[in-house]
Amino acid sequence: MKKSFDILIVGIGGQGTILASNILGEACLIEARRVKGAETHGMAQRGGSVESHIRIDGKFGPLIPPGQADLLISFDLLEALRYFHYLKRGGSLVVNRHLVLPTSVYMQKIEAPTEDGIVATLSQYNPCILDADQIAQEAGSPLSQNVVMLGAASRIIPLKFESLLKAVKNLVPKKTIEINTRAFEMGVQAAAKCYS
């Protein structure tokens, strides 16, 4: 029954989940494939937890049901944990080793999970965890973290490497094409260790 490849990208408002989803949509167009997506807009973006659903070859609704995602890409460790239940059994998990504690931790004195604790929980599921912020910095801009993450996940995404790279070049601001191309390729390399 299910024929689409479903990707959930999660993070914190401002981290560039929408651009990442647009890049995947553009890559689908390049390959003349159908695609559906859904994302968080409006006030919810203000530093809140955000999600982008992308269904490659999707012909119906844009939402991925919990437990059905083929791939979960998380730009933050805590958000990986929050959306983890969306991943289907045997699905792939690519996570940025980056943790921003929400202000609720300080304002409501809620106990916060630690970086090592989250990594330990996630590691039961064979995740690919990389320091995308560090890699983005090396590529030339911390803002290219989202493109690093797409590069890291590219091996799992059923789209050609060339289509993804072309989509990156088509969609990022002109002045940053070089940085983002580098970010994408460095993401691919950084993730190679996960799949060797």
Residues near 108 by beta carbon (within 8 Å), at least 6 away in sequence: none
Nearer to another protein, 68 or 176 (CB): 68
Q: Closest distance between another protein and the C-beta of residue 23, in Å?
A: 10
Nearer to another protein, 2 or 160 (CB): 2
Nearer to another protein, 126 or 189 (CB): 126
Nearer to another protein, 146 or 191 (CB): 146
Rg of the chain taking only CA atoms, in angstroms: 16
Nearer to another protein, 62 or 155 (CB): 62
Q: Closest distance between another protein and the C-beta of residue 123, in Å?
A: 14
Dist. CA 119–CA 80, nearest whole Å: 10
Return the SS3 of 181: helix
Nearer to another protein, 42 or 90 (CB): 42
Dist. CA 189–CA 163, nearest whole Å: 17
SS3 sequence of 65-100: CCCCEEEEEECCHHHHHHCHHHEEEEEEEEEECCCC
Q: Closest distance between another protein and the C-beta of residue 92, in Å?
A: 17
Residues near 189 by beta carbon (within 8 Å), at least 6 away in sequence: none
Residue type at position 112: A
Q: Closest distance between another protein and the C-beta of residue 97, in Å?
A: 17
Q: Closest distance between another protein and the C-beta of residue 158, in Å?
A: 16
Q: Closest distance between another protein and the C-beta of residue 136, in Å?
A: 13
Return the SS3 of 6: strand
Positive or negative CA dihedral for 52, 57, 63, 65? negative
Residues that bind another protein (CB under 8 A): 1-2, 12-13, 21-22, 25-26, 28-29, 32-49, 58-68, 78-79, 81-85, 101-108, 110-113, 121
